[in-house]
Amino acid sequence: MTIAARLSLVGLMILVADAACSSENGTGFIKGPLMVPACQYAGGTPLPPTSDQLANKDLPECQESWAQGGTLCGVWNHFVAEPYDSTSVRHPANQLNIRMQNISGGWEFADVISFWVYDSWEVARCARGRMNDDGTPDWNTEMCDLAPGAQGPGRMRIGTEGELVTSHLVLQYSCPGASLSAIGLGSCEGGSCPSVTVCPGRGSWISFSQFGPHVDPGTPILQTDEFKVNKGDSVEASAFHVELCDSDTVIAVQDHTVPVPEPAIIGTLEGHFSFVMQPNFR
Q: What is the pTM of this model?
A: 0.86
The pLDDT of residue 22 is 47
Q: Identify any residues that bridge with 131 across adjacent strands, giving them in sequence order.
A: 137
* 142 burial via Cβ count (<10 Å: 0-12, 13-18, 19+): exposed
| Cα gap 242→50, rounded to integer Å | 22
Beta-carbon contacts of 41 under 8 Å, excluding residues fewer than 6 positions away, are 47
Q: Is residue 212 a contact partner of residue 232, using CB atoms and an 8 Å limit? A: no
Q: How far apart are CA 62 and CA 269, in angstroms?
A: 12
Q: Is 9 domain-assigned? A: yes
Domain count of the fold of the chain:
1
Asked if residue 55 belongs to a domain, the reply is yes
**Closest residue by Cα to residue 2 from 190, 255, 245:** 255
In a domain, 282, yes or no: no
CA distance between the termini of the chain: 28
Tell me, what amino acid is at 222?
Answer: L
Amino acid 93: pLDDT: 83
Give tens-digit pLDDT for 214-257: 766 666 776 655 788 888 899 999 999 999 999 999 999 999 99
Asked if residue 281 is part of any domain, the answer here is no
DSSP label of 108:
G
Residuewise pLDDT in 10s, the chain (282 residues)? 443 444 344 444 434 444 444 468 899 999 988 888 878 766 666 677 777 777 777 888 887 777 666 668 899 999 999 888 887 777 778 899 999 999 888 878 899 999 999 999 999 989 888 888 888 888 999 999 998 777 678 999 999 999 999 999 999 888 887 888 999 999 999 989 999 999 999 999 999 999 987 766 666 776 655 788 888 899 999 999 999 999 999 999 999 999 999 999 999 999 999 999 886 544
String of DSSP letters for 99-129: EEESSSB-GGGSEEEEEEES-HHHHHHHHH-
What is the predicted pLDDT for the residue at 217? 61
What amino acid is encoded at 176 in this protein?
P
Contacting residues for 3 by C-beta, under 8 A, at least 6 apart: none
Please state, in angstroms and rounded to a whole number, the distance separating the CA atoms of residues 171 and 161.
24
pLDDT digits (tens, 9 = 90+) for 110-121: 999 999 999 999
Domain that holds residue 35: 3-276
Counts for the chain of helices (H) and strands (E), in that order: 5, 13
pLDDT of residue 3: 38
